[in-house]
Amino acid sequence: MKKHIGGFFIVLIFFMLFSGCDDSDGGEDDCEMPPLDCQLMPPTSGSVKIFVSNGYDVKVELFEGLIGDNAVLIGEYTVSDGSFVLNNMADGEYSARAYYEVEGESIAVTGGDDIYIHSEEYCAGIECWEVDDAEIDVSLDIDAFRDYLEGKEDNCFIATAAFGSLAERHVRILRVFRDRVLLENGIGRIFVKYYYRYSPPVAQVVGNSPLLRCCVRGVLSPITAVITFLFPEIEAGME
């Protein structure tokens, strides 16, 4: 019995000792130990990696800042292997524009990212620095663009089916919006890809129904009005 009581008191003493080390009741907050590769000095630069479509000689312009926001051209490159990296670049925003030639047609794709240098504090006030490099994707979905090229002279697509002609004003606005806005960003290119994949059968149905043509015109007309309001240069460029 005494042995059991003695063992109980030993466990109790250990518990009290270790619980006394618990700083959760007013001591310093729990902290995380710094990683083994902690960089104590702040880095002075990072890298910019630019991705383009593989298999093409692509001309790429690199800008400091965002295109359309007083960006400064800092370099021009020709890339043919899918990507390239620029090192020793200062932290900040960068953007790129890539020029493609597909089936005799030209298209420019833009994108941007930033180099971000930051730190995190660990136990004993140790500050570890790291850099998030910029990765700019200006690749082009070549298949989607070829679909666009094959369809731009075709009357089977929804807007053309609704308005009756590629030369109609609303259709021309939508085409310029596609070329100058949608095809110059990643989300827009995805939309165009799936539009040209799935819209022909829908357009065929619309084209065969006067009621549906009227309904689609009623939907697309305010959309083109919003586009010309937000992008007045689109209609100006149609002249």
Where in 122-173 does DSSP place strands (E)? 127-132, 134-137
Q: Is residue 213 part of a domain?
A: yes
> How many domains does the chain contain in total?
2
Question: What is the tens place of the pLDDT at every residue in 199-219?
Answer: 776 877 787 788 888 999 999
In this structure, the answer to whether residues 120 and 156 fall within a common structural domain is no
- For residue 198, pLDDT over 70 is answered with yes
The pLDDT confidence band at residue 221, using thresholds 50, 70 and 90, is very high
Q: According to the model, what pLDDT value does residue 239 have?
A: 56
12 assigned to some structural domain: no
For every residue of 81-117, DSSP letters joined together read SSEEEEEEEPSEEEEEEEEEEETTEEEEEEEEEEEEE
Mean pLDDT in residue range 107-113: 84
CATH number at residue 88: 2.60.40.10
Query: Considering the entire predicted model, what is its pTM?
Result: 0.54
Q: Are residues 136 and 152 in the same domain?
A: no
Residues 63 and 130 in one domain: yes
Q: Looking at the domain assignment, is residue 182 inside a domain?
A: yes
Boundary of a domain, candidates 73, 105, 140: 140
Same domain, 134 and 193: no
Residue where a domain terminates, one of 115, 140, 165: 140
The residue range of the domain holding 93 is 46-140
- Tokens (6 digits) for 226: 């919003």
Per-residue confidence band for 149, with pLDDT thresholds at 50, 70 and 90: low
Q: What is the pLDDT of residue 237?
A: 60
Q: Are 154 and 228 within one domain?
A: yes
Q: First vs last Cα of the chain: how many Å apart?
A: 103
Q: What percent of the chain has pLDDT over 70?
A: 78
The residue among 207 and 95 whose pLDDT is bigger is: 95
pLDDT digits (tens, 9 = 90+) for 114-143: 999 999 999 989 999 999 999 998 887 777
pLDDT band at 175 (very low <50, low <70, confident <90, very high): confident
Same domain, 161 and 221: yes
Domain limit, last residue, from 87, 117, 140: 140
